[in-house]
Amino acid sequence: MDKFMKAAIEEAKKGFLEGGIPIGSILVRNGEIIGRGHNMRIQKNDPLAHAEIICIRNAGRIGTYSDTTLYSTLMPCYLCAGAVVQFGIKKVIVGEAENFKGASEFMKEHGIEVINLNDSECREMMGKFIQKNTDIWYEDIGK
């Protein structure tokens, strides 16, 4: 497995251990991690604290994002896909899109390369969480 997806999975596990939703994200430039984050909606009582948003925020102002790749353990939702489009990130690599289809087509329509690794660890981690925490999951995603 790609070392950057492993780092995103570590972020997801970190969030879960904090009592949150196990979604992790990493921003990479020139083969180095420049930002990382995990979903913190529960921990911060913030509906916008998605993993990808936290990750980009933690990368800070870097001038241009066009030469970066965003990794996420789960296909980004429209909120996070909008941030990807807004900041000009050209490539998104996701662990899985089985538990949540997300905004893959939206990103592709905006010229973003989207790669789904269909990773079993990501699928199982998110699937178990959703099964045990249906109310928390649907609070954000809707039915």
Strand partners, 28: 33, 69
State the Cα angle at 42 between 38 and 43, rounded to 5°: 70
Strand partners, 114: 92
Strand partners, 24: 38
CA distance 128 to 29: 32
CA distance 30 to 3: 14
CA distance 47 to 44: 9
Catalytic residue list? 52
Strand partners, 116: 94
